[in-house]
Amino acid sequence: MILVCVAIDAMEGLLVRLREVELIARVPSRARAEIGHLARREDAAVRVNWSGDPEIAAWGVSMGTAVEYGISFTGHSGRKDRMITFALFVSAELAESPYETGPVLHWRDVREWEKNSGSWPVKTDQERSHWDWSPLKAVGPLRFGMTPRQVADALGGEVPAGRQGHFPYWWWGGGAAGPWTLTDDRFEQTGATAHYWYPDSLPVLGAVAVHGRTGPQIAHAGDPPADWEL
């Protein structure tokens, strides 16, 4: 067994520098700009990896982002309002496609994750719809317990841009093949993802994820999120 990759955590990892560029715990846009400048200077090709972050095969580095955590004014640990960078460093044998190699897949298997092209669609507040949230009952037009067809109809017949699911695990039914199980429908136009569960062997809506950059604005009892006391 030999070392072929090292992942440096965004929050707790060492600060790593490439030439004059700091790579860890940086604001992603600033790190991206400085990496691009250094790559052009050294004639190194920069591409985007599965998460839309810079990846440079010549250096054996693939960047990523994570939510920053810190201590709030009340003295409790919690999420902050920004993302910061982490990095994956690999040997030459893994550099061409780090996230498709066995050692990295054991750490973070992203084969079924949605790939990012490096650009993120963002809607202005004027472009977003407004939904009312009824706790434990509904989010906008989506009521918990709806079937996938009812969910699509409630969203004006929008066709899911992506669907995720799985086949039964091998220990179900003695290893016999079974039907594909739908777990998620991603609606890009609406900016929301529907998550299903199977209380009676049929998929029904159990949760709704609202996309932060493109999803509707959510109000509870007439109060927008900024007015909620958390």
Domain range list for the chain: 5-107, 125-227
- pLDDT of 172-230, one tens digit each? 554 555 678 899 999 999 999 999 999 988 999 999 999 988 999 999 876 665 544 43
Least confidently predicted of 48-57, 111-120, 181-190, 205-214: 111-120
Degrees (nearest 5) of the Cα angle 32, 36, 40? 175
pLDDT computed for residue 178 by the predictor: 67
Amino acid at 159: V
**Rounded Cα gap, residues 216 and 194, in angstroms:** 14
